[in-house]
Chains A and B, each alone.
Chain A
């Protein structure tokens, strides 16, 4: 360590602090800028600015769990997976086994990537596309009056009329879609390999989350530490 006393040497500001000074100039016109107050979450103190990171981490792990469970259940019973795919009555018979073979592995891959936080934004984009496909399949089945179980987590196939769960299933899929979209917009999370490989530059963790209309005062952040 350099034998330097920060408090007594104003020139010894770290680049990090200087950068923060710079990209968040005190314009005077923003007297209402909230002072970050520490928040207790578990035993760790986090500043409010890090809350989106925590939320994003939970979102990422939740979506990973969804994919791992659904992919695993389908992989355990391939014939049933084919029945579930066929029940949507969208694909020609020859393509049903192909989709039924690819889907479980794709789901497991997405789950694994999200769990480890590798290529989070890519995995989230693909997740959203796949989920949109599921939603479209459900909507067309509902509109055509097919009586099917979605087979989202294994099982699936035709069910006796009246035993469909379209509204509930659709709501659930849209919830999963929301998780994916969060990560598309804001892929930065904690405990992710992405973060190890691409550490945030200048300690600017305070990125705005989705729905935060405030113009992000962290332009410098966009050049470095961009997470995919």
Chain B
């Protein structure tokens, strides 16, 4: 070896010339394939970025009212024309992504009074933490947060800090401390410690799984989202604007 690519090419050219052969001119076809390939890849990445940008909503501070009835937290004006039912489990990864992708858009709609969201606190993943029970524990704490006037921020933080499946997740003490950090009023720590809604969440979970509108064909998973009582496809990125604009 030791010869550079260029030298080898020149030598090859020279040998061909010596034999009186003019090598075929470079067709430029290779460059064409390269160009088209590069354009296709750039367009694909650009289209993906565009989709992500379309789904992006500017962060907004929640200003909507929150009320609680048992395990259901109603966010937004109760008289809002569009009713959205959301069934979530705080350990559910898809719920985290649902909140990540649609959270700001939902908050804006709630602030504007265009829709209200009923968050149904259920627990189907209690056995996915070690020790079991994080789903119920976090659900109880979130219901306490509604009473303490910090539900929007608490709800968001529970997803942002979502433990991995198989991890322990926040303890009762840590859940109480998070409420204090977010400015909970009243006896928040006492409420979290009581874990008073565990049985009600279990009952609500069973009821949801038995409701054909929530669990068509008996398949119940989280997140399940209903608009006006009808389950919608959360992969349809326009589900909320379609609901609001009719």
Contact = CB atoms under 8 A, between A and B. Distances in A.
B72 to A, nearest CB: 23
A118 B38 CA distance: 10
Interface residues of A, number: 62
B219 interface: no
Given A18-B19, A113-B37, A105 B47 contact: yes
Given A194-B29, A220-B16, A202 B51 contact: no
A102 B45 contact: yes
Given A102-B52, A105-B47, A201-B23, A219 B12 contact: yes
Interface stretch (B145-153, B158-166, B168-176, B188-196): B158-166
A82 B34 CA distance: 31
Contacts of A220: 12, 15-16, 23
Given A82-B101, A86-B96, A122 B11 contact: no
A57 interface: no
Interface of A is mostly: helix
Interface string B2-44: 0001001101110110010101111111111111111011011
Contact of B49 (A101, A113, A194): A101
Interface string A185-221: 0000000011011110110000000000000000110
A118 B36 contact: yes
Contact of A193 (B33, B38, B52, B166): B33
A101 B38 CA distance: 19
B41 A110 contact: yes
Interface stretch (A26-34, A38-46, A156-164): A156-164
Contact of B94 (A80, A118, A126, A226): A80
Contacts of A23: 12, 15-16
B100 A93 contact: yes
A222 B29 CA distance: 14
A104 interface: yes
Contacts of A224: 23-27
Nearest to B32: A197
Interface in A94-120: 96-98, 101-106, 108-110, 112-113, 117-120
A82 to B, nearest CB: 4
Interface in A105-164: 105-106, 108-110, 112-113, 117-123, 126, 146-147, 157-161
B165 A158 contact: yes
A35 interface: no
Contact of B41 (A113, A147, A158, A160): A113
Interface of B: 5, 8-9, 11-13, 15-16, 19, 21, 23-38, 40-41, 43-45, 47-49, 51-52, 55-56, 93-94, 96-98, 100-101, 128, 130, 160, 164-166, 234-235, 237
21 contacts: A18-B19, A19-B19, A79-B97, A79-B235, A93-B160, A96-B100, A97-B55, A98-B49, A101-B48, A110-B41, A113-B40, A118-B33, A119-B37, A158-B166, A160-B165, A160-B166, A161-B165, A201-B23, A219-B8, A223-B9, A227-B30
Interface of A: 15, 18-19, 21-23, 77-80, 82-83, 86-87, 89, 93, 96-98, 101-106, 108-110, 112-113, 117-123, 126, 146-147, 157-161, 193-194, 196-199, 201-202, 219-220, 222-228
